[in-house]
Amino acid sequence: MMLIPTHHFRDIERKPEYLQPEKCAPPPFPGPVGTMWFIRDGCGIACAIVTWFLVLYAEFVVLFVMLIPSRDYAYSIINGIVFNLLAFLALASHCRAMLTDPGAVPKGNATKEFIESLQLKPGQVVYKCPKCCSIKPDRAHHCSVCKRCIRKMDHHCPWVNNCVGENNQKYFVLFTMYIALISLHALIMVGFHFLHCFEEDWTKCSSFSPPTTVILLILLCFEALLFLIFTSVMFGTQVHSICTDETGIERLQRSKQPREQSGSWKSVQEAFGGEFSLNWFNPFTRPCQPEIPIDKGLVRQVSSLSNMDNVETAEGQLEETKDRDPVEEDQVQCELCHIRAGGSGWCKKT
Residues in the chain: 350
| Cβ neighbours for 252, distance < 8 A, ≥ 6 positions apart | none
244 neighbors 92 (Cβ within 8 angstroms): no
What span, in angstroms and rounded, lies between the C-alpha atoms of 346 and 334? 11
| Cβ neighbours for 321, distance < 8 A, ≥ 6 positions apart | 328, 329, 332
| Cβ neighbours for 125, distance < 8 A, ≥ 6 positions apart | 299, 300, 302, 338, 341, 342, 345, 346, 347
Question: How confident is the model at residue 269, as a pLDDT?
Answer: 85
What is the residue-wise DSSP string for 155-205? EEETTTTEEE-TTTHHHHHHHHHHHHHHHHHHHHHHHHHHHHHHHS-TTTS
Q: Which of 12, 271, 19, 269 is nearest to 154 (CA)?
A: 271
Q: 47 an active-site residue?
A: no
Summarised one tens digit per residue, pLDDT across range 250-277 is: 888 775 555 555 557 888 888 888 888 8
Question: How confident is the model at residue 202, as a pLDDT?
Answer: 76
Residues with pLDDT less than 50, the chain: 1-19, 29-33, 304-350
Q: What is the pTM of this model?
A: 0.75
Question: How confident is the model at residue 139, as a pLDDT?
Answer: 85
What span, in angstroms and rounded, lies between the C-alpha atoms of 246 and 31? 30
Residue 324's SS3 state is coil
Percent composition of the chain: helix, strand, coil (DSSP 3-state, to 5) = 50, 10, 40
Candidate list 133, 157, 334, 347, residue with the active-site label: 157
Question: How confident is the model at residue 187, as a pLDDT?
Answer: 97
Q: What are phi and psi of 43, to 5 degrees?
A: -65, -45
Measured CA angle at 245 (ends 335, 341), to 5 deg = 20
Beta-bridged to residue 151, according to DSSP, are: 140
Cα distance between the two ends of the chain: 18
